[in-house]
Structure 1
Amino acid sequence: MNAVPAYNIVHKRDNGQPFHPKGEGNGYIITIKGKKIYIAGDTENIPEMKQFKGIDITFLPVNLPYTMTPEMAADAARAVRPKIFYPYHYGDTEISRLTELLKNDKDIEVRVRDMQ
């Protein structure tokens, strides 16, 4: 298991502080039976994601104002390049916008589940 920082760059509180400051939370990359799984935690599309290699399944949060917009999540999915992508934490976010953004990325299978 590897810890990965989870933090905000863009979305901030009224006082200018990020909702999730760097160094306070983590996501994790775990390997189970040879499959690498990235669980992002509460984060935005941070630069560290571009360094990941060989991720089979990723879970990315899509929930404003605390995590990613659909556009940010699509960018993150393209950076991570998982075979399977589960958006989570999306609450009232229009998740169809995310699936539309990734419809031409045939190597990324987006699986939307009601995880409430």
Structure 2
Amino acid sequence: MTARYGAVTVDWLGYATVRIEGRTGAVVYVDPGRYGVLEEYDARDGDLILVSHDHHYDPDGIRRVAHEDALVVVHEAVDADRIDRDVAQPESLPYTVERVRADETFVVGPLDLYTTPAYNEPGGPHTRANGEPYHPEGSGCGYGVTIDGATVFWPGDTDVLPVHEELDVDVFLPPIGGSFTMDRHEAAALAAAMEPGLVLPIHYDTFEALEADDEAFVVDVASRGVPVVLDR
């Protein structure tokens, strides 16, 4: 299934991997790869590749989606030396690589792009047993990209944060798996506060800790008067 909003099509490919394409042909991928979601995928058509944080950094996934002239945008904290997987530094990839902080705005060709903070609150509901956040502040970001007049927003692996309700978003891609991010209840409440044109949940059911009732999420969001779809 492909979700459509205005001139934009959005495909959830699994885990946090999303493909966004505008009517004019620009293609954006968000957090491509991990957990085998791109095992049989080799499109190499992406103009812009966005990587939110260490857990979603997958060089092989990037190679499967990026064309040779792609721009790869990576949060500044992503560091291969601190990742417990055998991965190369982003700058060693055969693409133009740009580092970003949270809370930046810039233009990439015909696309407008912004970043937002993405983290878990210390001592909050999405922390380790000792209260340590799975995603400390400064470890990653969310991305909003405007393509052919529609703004698609992926908040990253994060709790619901005050900044989210201030955003003007057309397509909202909330994580609903809980454990390491907002859960389906928190995401539904945020969707109602943001009032986007369309909600497409992602980042759930990849493994046991991310299991979520997506149909219950749809009912919850729809009952609040917000358009919502599933991409299975």
The TM-score, its normalising length taken from structure 2, stands at 0.46
Q: Which amino acid aligns with 1:113?
A: D
Matched, 1:112 2:230: yes
2: CA distance between counterparts of 1:102 and 1:31? Answer: 23
Q: In the TM superposition, what is the alpha-carbon distance from 1:73 to its structure 2 partner? A: 0.6
Tell me by how many angstroms 1:113 deviates: 1.1
Structure 1 residue matching 2:158: 3-state secondary structure: coil
Paired position in structure 2 for 1:8: 120
After superposition, residues 63-78 of structure 1 pair within 5 angstroms as 63-78=177-192
1:79 matched to which residue of 2? 193
1:97 & 1:21 partners in 2: Cα distance?
29
Contact 1:45 1:75 in 2 (8 A): no
State the identity as a percent.
31
Instruction: Establish whether residue 49 from structure 1 lines up as the match of residue 167 from structure 2.
Output: no
Counterpart residue number, 2:222: 103
3-state SS of 2:189 partner:
helix
User: What CA distance in whole angstroms lies between the structure 1 residues aligned with 2:118 and 2:220?
Assistant: 23
Gaps of 5+ in 2: 1-112, 206-210
SS at match of 1:109: coil
CA contact (8 A) 2:199 2:227 kept: yes
The RMSD of aligned alpha carbons is: 1.3
Q: Which has the higher contact order (CA 8 A, sep 6+)?
A: 1
**AA in 1 matched with 2:162:** P
Partner of residue 132 from structure 2, selected from 5, 17, 23: 17
What does the per-residue CA deviation read over 1:29-48, in whole Å, with 9 as the maximum and x for residues that have no partner?
A: 11101111111111121111
SS of 2:223 mapped into structure 1: coil
Greater Cα offset, 94-103 or 17-26: 94-103
Rounded Cα–Cα distance in structure 2 between residues aligned with 1:76 and 1:24:
22
Instruction: Tell me if structure 1 keeps the 8 A contact 2:178–2:184.
Output: no
Compute the displacement of 1:20 (Å).
Answer: 1.0
SS at match of 2:191: helix
2-structure distance, mates of 1:84, 1:64: 21
Larger gyration radius, structure 1 or structure 2: 2
Number of residue-to-residue matches in the alignment: 112
Q: Aligned partners of 2:230, 2:202: CA distance in 1, in Å?
A: 8
